[in-house]
Structure formats: C-alpha cells, structure tokens
Structure 1
Amino acid sequence: MGKKELSQTELLAFARHDFLNDLQIILMHLDLGNPSEARNTILKTTKAMGQRAVLSGFGLPKVQQWLLTFDWVYTAFRSTLSCAIKKASRSVSDDTIVAYLEAIFTEVEDELDPLSDYDVHFDIFADENEWSMTITIKGELPATKKTRIGPDDVKIEEMISHNLWVFKLIGQ
C-alpha cells in the first residue's frame, strides 16, 4: 500500500470506527425524531457495504485492498464505490496497478488545498474478457498536469476540466 502498510489491527480499528460512526448517525436521527433520515442512513450504508462485497469478485486482491482502505490512507478525499463485476481471472499484475494508483493519488494529494472538499468515485466494471476502473475526482484540483505512464497491459484514458478529473484504466 501507499504511504504505509496498515496492520490487521489498524484495519480492524478503522473498520470498527467507521461502523460506530454510522451507528451514531442513525442514533442521532432517531433521537431527533427523524426516522426517515435514520432509514436513509441505513440504506446508504448497506448499499456501500454491498458494493464492497461485490468487489471481492474483481480478481485483483491487492487492488481490492487498496480500494477498501483508500479512505483511511488518502484522508483528503471522500470516496464512493460502484461495482458491476463478473468473476474471472485477470491477466494483469495488480502490484503494478496499485503502484500506479498510489503514485497518482500521493502526487495529487500533496498539491491539494487542505481547506477544500474532494470527492472521488470509483466505478469498477469487469466481465470475463475485460475490466475497467473509472475514477472521477471532483474538487478544486491543481492546474498542472503531468504526463503519466501506466502499467504495460493497461490502457489509460484521461480527461481533465475545471474541478473535474476523470481517468479510466482498462485491461483484460
């Protein structure tokens, strides 16, 4: 992983913390007499957990771990995840994909305004023949663009406009 490999104890502590935060938000809505908001929080949380479960079929375990721990490592971002995955073996090294993603997000995070909000959405698609990961970042992004070279077996598509950066990794 990027900045620092998280231990199993740290991973469990982060997961427990996130789970307790979700429970406290639900309890707050119930205490304030907003059962519909509590219900919405439950539905949002279970949907997010379901998407994380679907990710297990991606066939790239190190990429899966990187995505699942993204929020804990890259704290400047708020992330969401959506997956449409059919289980299959992948012909690319997930070590090279993780190294590429770490390099990009570490570089970008170093240039971000700490007072601004940044949202990132990971959209993962995979079938028996092809996979793709579309990453959309919204927020006040740095104006500079560096040329990046991706992993050999992965096609990279990139689009940057004002406060929006979309890049897509495509492989087999």
Structure 2
Amino acid sequence: MGKEELTSSELLAFARHDFLNDLQIILMHLDLGNPSEARKVILKTTKAMGQRTLLSGFGFPKVQQWLLTFDWVYTAFRSTLTCAIKKGPRNVNDDTLVAYLEAVFNEIEEVIDPLSDYDVHFDIFAEEKEWSITITINGELPETKETRISPDNLKIEETISHNLWVFKLIGQ
C-alpha cells in the first residue's frame, strides 16, 4: 500500500475501535437527552455499513479491501462511500487498479497541507458492461497536478479547481 499492508489483527482492531466510537457517540447523545441525535448516528452508521457491504459485488476484492481500509491507512482524509453496483465481468487487473489508486493517494499525501482537513468521497458505480470509481476530494489543494498515465483498459477524467478535485476511473 505504499505503506505496510495491515495484518488481520490490525484490521480487526481498527474495526473494533471504529465500532466502539460509534457506540460511545450514541451513548453520549442518549446521556445528554438527545435521542433524536442518537437515532441520526445509528441511521448514518447503518447506511455507511450497507454501502460497504455493496462493495462485495464490485468484482475487485483487493479494491474492496483498499476502500474499506482507506481511513486507517490515509489518515489525512475523512472518507465516505456510495455504491450502485450490478455484478458483471470486469476487464481490469485488481492488483493494477489498487497499485494505481495507492500511487495517486501517496502522491496527493506528499503535496497536501498536513494541518488542513480533507474530505474524500468514493462513488462506485457498476453495470454489467461498464464501471467507474469517482473520487471527489474537498480541501485546500495545490494549484498544480501531475499528469497521470492510465493503466491499460481504463479511461481517466480529472478536473481540479479551488478546493475541489474530481478524479474518475472508468473501465469495462
């Protein structure tokens, strides 16, 4: 991952930590007499878990793992995920796609301000014959960007403007 790959024990520890944090936030709202806020946290958390579950139909198990562990590896970002996935054959090597995503984010980490906040949203879309990963980053971004060479069988669309970068990978 440009960084060491997480072990199964580390993955479980991070997942357990995140789950306990969600429970503590719910408990805090209940203790403060805000059941409606606790309900919002429960709904937000279950929606996020549902979106993560949909990734299994994407057909890229290593990309799925990369997305599910993104927050733990790339700590400069806060991520969200949405999925609309139909199963189908995918014409890209899973390892190649993960290596490409890692290279992009390792490059971004080198040029962003470590004291700024960055939100990243992953929108995964897949039909039977075409799929895409749209990455939208909000935050204080550098004015320049590298020209990226696309892996085989991928189309890349990229736009960058003040504090918004949209990067889309499209494959078949």
Q: TM-score, normalised by structure 1?
A: 0.98
Give the partner amino acid of 2:167.
F
Aligned equivalents of 1:156 and 1:108: distance in 2?
A: 17
Residues 11-69 of structure 1: per-residue CA shift (max 9 Å, x gap) = 00000000000000000000111000000000000000000000110001111110000
Equivalent pairs, count = 172
Contact 2:135/2:167 (CA < 8 Å) preserved in 1? Answer: yes
How far is 1:2 from its partner? 3.2
Secondary structure of the structure 2 residue equivalent to 1:75? coil
Equivalent residue number for residue 78 of structure 2: 78
How far is 1:144 from its partner? 1.9
Secondary structure of the structure 1 residue equivalent to 2:30? helix
Equivalent residue number for residue 56 of structure 1: 56
Q: TM-score, normalised by structure 2?
A: 0.98
Aligned equivalents of 2:62 and 2:15: distance in 1?
A: 18
> Which aligned runs of 4 or more in structure 1 are off by greater than 6 angstroms?
none
Unaligned runs of 5+ in 1: none
Q: Say whether 1:130 aligns with 2:152.
A: no
How far is 1:140 from its partner? 0.1
Equivalent residue number for residue 121 of structure 1: 121
Contact 2:156/2:168 (CA < 8 Å) preserved in 1? Answer: yes
Give the partner amino acid of 2:40.
N
Secondary structure of the structure 1 residue equivalent to 2:169? strand
Secondary structure of the structure 2 residue equivalent to 1:83? strand
